Structure 1
Amino acid sequence: MIQPTPPPSKRQDLQGIRGLAILSVLGFHFYPFYFPNGYLGVDQFFVLSGFLMCMLLTKTEKMPVFSGFIHFYSRRFKRILPLYLLFILLTVISLYTVFPDASLLQNQSSATKALLFVSNRPHTGEEDYFEKLLIGIDLFTHTWSLSVEIQFYFIVPAIFFIGNKCNGYFKYGYYSIIGFIRFVFLYI
């Protein structure tokens, strides 16, 4: 008797899109002349992440709210935090052992922002993301995208779980209000 094979836990189509996004970003960083729009790979990651987050959240919608939150966040943070914290630790150690003192103050501030997941805060007039990349003075410049991701993880599940508790027209009204608020914040 032949046993049916279980469905793979990772969707290959999404892995392919993820691979293209990685190649786009790497191409942009190493060969910006040939890949001038490669930075859009980061946007692909955000779209994929939102799609996968919604898939995970729909699997937990039948759970009680508290256990749904615990299940969702434990999976996300077990996957992200260990390597991220190791990266920050090793980078801070290398700051004190390898890099010049001139970049120490900048990177101490950036390390704190990275730990708090607020590296994506708006830049001032003197700051330029791409200039920081070119001169390589801020070793935490790239953590902005994970800050966006983590902030998304805090906001979207709450919106999702509240929306699932609404019924009928209340649900449509709730999501309409959320959409309107999003639209307003887009133009503030």
Structure 2
Amino acid sequence: PIYLKKLRELTLKLNIHLIADEIAMGFGRTGKMFAIEHAGVSPDIMCVGKGLTAGYFPMSIVLITDKLYEAFYADYSEGKSFLHSHSYSGNPIGCRIAVETLKIFEEENILEVIKLKGDYLRTASANKLKDIPYIGEYRQIGLIGAIELTGVPGERAGYEIYKIALKKGAILRPLGNIVYFMPPYIIKEEEIDKMLDIFKESLEEYLSRFK
């Protein structure tokens, strides 16, 4: 958040547009509707998708400030309109799904659900992952957790652990030697436990290759 605050200050000072990519982190993943809210700043452009339709349909939106909108808005004859479209622009099915998703967020208080399940994930992770070799750090915000592996033997350890976990019934997300948990918001507490157990078993199975 501190970095984003300073970045916003700098971009305003230098008249540079700040773009927030909320495709993966928007719609509650970090515990707030949009991740940039943690910094208390507003971007000039914000890209949203994925969670917009709960992953059911390819739909995205680019949000811009009034200032940017006015810069491109004009009668066609003036020749300054920003004309752009693609095959799925304004797709009625995608729009209908997006509207229903937003209704669910409001009616079922999804942000509070994410907070409660995020708290459970944090507590369960602390209990289940303590004293395990090669786990350098576990960090989490909202309902996204990341395990950083340090000093782990072999190459592409995260990817190898991902493949083992997949066979055991859990989809993890490896980025180098960092393994992410990004569970769906409907996950149950017992499923969170199972996800963590599968990670632990998969790590142990991977390490057994080097004994």
| TM-score, normalised relative to structure 1 | 0.28
Which structure's residues are more often helix, by fraction? 1
| TM-score, normalised relative to structure 2 | 0.25
Which structure's residues are more often strand, by fraction? 2
